[in-house]
Chains A and B, each alone.
Chain A
């Protein structure tokens, strides 16, 4: 792999510190940056201006798809392909379709939500440039890290490093891809 710079990583000690650092980085005009935290930080969505996640629509699509498919399947199998009179009941009716269709809607919605989450988060992936950093393993423990990506138009190794230092970032490190 070529030694391309991926970004600059800085480490913070508390959720409040990373939140205020994120605000400053945003105010300094950076656009391609991200924070890495052991758990979601309350208020970070607002600072990073993240829009409502579209995962919900995936769930809706999955649920609707399954619901309609099961209704169709029941009509096809019980009323069209092999109509069989059972207890004098109609071949096709709402009560007989609703329950299985509803249950399978839940299945479709759940699978849709999971697929949506994986797709938006680009998971699964087996390598990430950040995994080369030794200190990055602490993100899942008690450290909070901020990365400014090298693709950011304002990115400069010296200037960005200075900014992160002034925000109180520790162990500032350049990540290679």
Chain B
């Protein structure tokens, strides 16, 4: 195999481009690597195809999705916020002992959704997975918007949102400083850093594509806006040289964030003494849970988009297959962690720990939540073993949606399921979300989808220059890239 591929390379680069010879040496179809972009189009056509959607008329499906999202974002969301901030946290179902309710559940869920985006755009770049160029930008945008939503929840959860500035180390006449011994304080730094760094990464990645839009612009306002955004990018080799370096550095830093931000959220839980939270596996648990949930979201976002935007040859079936496989891998790790959690609860011999975990599945109020999460996160995910399922986009879309629900349930089970029955039976309580809890969640979903739809319509949501660079036409050493026989 090794010699064969060497000879093939030699043929592609070297003097003979004899098709017959090449065909003989090519590996069998099932072993061949799928092309990053199908149909083998030229660079110009590819540029046209990738920028067409942002330049064209707003399609009807976009309005159909945009209007309800915008309604949620601009009516329900502010209403929920204004009411909650005016009357206080009591508007929610939060109480004693369940002081963390849907707000923290949704916070962890949104942070989780963000993580897969960074994993795809940063970690898969570092591991040189060329297929990630086509979905990296869309995933990164998902990160940016969901971190925005995530950051909002703790800011309101504090109760007196107007004192949020206490969380930042700002010198003030009261001499107040944040208390850095608490992981909740670390969270403030983690989420803000995550937001800033992923926005920088997202924006820097778009600069060359802004230049594409600038150069293609036909109307004056469009030309003006994209000239400002492209900031004078010329695409010179020297610019690319520094750009690529900065890109690698940012990818490295973002990869660190994939593993840190959710770990820190996990630390919020595991540093407490509560049975069900006090476990060393939590940082890892939250990271993997985050990535798993995010892959579900990627499936939900990309499957309709590739169809409606006519990008089937760019976001190919092979890419969806790979995303599904990554979902399966993270789902398997999650299943393993569930098993370990239950095992440790039994093995620890701690009666409170055992109580909490047996009540996750056979408890008083929320036992059904435990079963939902087991069936969805452990059961449904196993369907992805089958190639037929991975090739069926409807199935993948539904599995993606289910995983998102399943992971939301998981956070509910962790947060509420551990809090509502703590050490003293006299303290036991119950948590029922109110309409304002739900309104805030629906509002944040609306805001997310509104921003995502605006992004898809008006900004380059496929990394045009990266995709072109990953095609054979962009490789100077291949015949498709213009390489002639005489030199390598």
Contact = CB atoms under 8 A, between A and B. Distances in A.
Contact of A113 (B176, B177, B196, B250): B250
A86 interface: yes
B179 A84 contact: yes
Contacts of B349: none
A113 B474 CA distance: 27
Given A78-B177, A103-B190, A141-B216, A39 B469 contact: yes
Contacts of A17: 482
Contacts of A77: 169, 177-178, 180
Given A55-B246, A78-B179, A121-B243, A111 B233 contact: no
A165 interface: no
Contacts of B275: none
B231 A38 contact: no
B477 interface: yes
Contact of A38 (B178, B235, B481, B487): B235
A148 B45 CA distance: 29
A103 B189 contact: yes
B235 A96 contact: no
A128 to B, nearest CB: 6
Interface stretch (B157-165, B253-261, B381-389): B253-261
A116 B215 contact: no
Interface in B429-488: 465-466, 468-469, 473-477, 481-484, 487
Contact of B235 (A37, A109, A116, A117): A37
B244 interface: yes
A35 interface: yes
A3 B215 CA distance: 24
A174 interface: no
Nearest to A20: B487
Contacts of B245: 52-53, 55-56, 113, 117
A73 B189 CA distance: 13
Contacts of B235: 36-38, 139-140
Interface in A111-140: 111, 113-114, 116-117, 120-128, 130, 137-140
Interface stretch (B66-74, B197-205, B292-300): B197-205
Interface in A84-112: 84, 86-87, 89, 96-97, 99-100, 102-104, 106-107, 109-111
B242 A41 contact: no
A157 interface: no
B197 A124 contact: no
A40 B215 CA distance: 18
A15 B240 contact: no
Given A14-B481, A39-B474, A139-B235, A109 B240 contact: no
Nearest to B51: A141
B374 interface: no
A19 interface: yes
A117 to B, nearest CB: 4
Contact of A39 (B197, B234, B236, B466): B466
Nearest to A17: B482
Given A100-B185, A107-B196, A125-B231, A48 B237 contact: yes
A23 to B, nearest CB: 9
A56 B321 CA distance: 35
Contacts of B44: 141-142
A40 B180 CA distance: 44
B186 interface: yes
A34 interface: yes
B234 A50 contact: no
B32 interface: no
A140 B476 contact: no
Contact of B175 (A55, A81, A97, A130): A81
B238 A39 contact: no
A146 to B, nearest CB: 10
Contact of A104 (B193, B233, B237, B475): B193
Given A42-B475, A113-B249, A141-B44, A107 B212 contact: no
Contacts of B185: 100
Nearest to B233: A123
A149 B183 CA distance: 56
A116 B296 CA distance: 36
A82 to B, nearest CB: 5
B253 A110 contact: yes
A113 B173 CA distance: 35
Nearest to A86: B181
A28 B90 CA distance: 78
Interface string B247-290: 00110011011001000100100000000000000000000000
B181 A34 contact: no
Which 4 residue pairs across A and B have the least CB separation, nearest first? A14-B482, A124-B231, A39-B469, A16-B482
Given A39-B469, A103-B189, 5 more contacts: A18-B476, A34-B236, A40-B469, A77-B177, A99-B186
Interface of B: 42-44, 47, 169, 175-183, 185-186, 189-190, 192-193, 196-197, 200-201, 204, 207-208, 211-212, 214-216, 227, 231-246, 249-250, 253-254, 256-257, 260, 264, 267, 465-466, 468-469, 473-477, 481-484, 487
Interface of A: 13-20, 34-45, 48, 50, 52-53, 55-56, 59, 73-74, 77-78, 81-82, 84, 86-87, 89, 96-97, 99-100, 102-104, 106-107, 109-111, 113-114, 116-117, 120-128, 130, 137-142
14 contacts: A15-B482, A36-B235, A43-B476, A53-B245, A81-B175, A86-B181, A99-B267, A106-B197, A107-B193, A107-B196, A113-B250, A116-B242, A137-B215, A140-B235
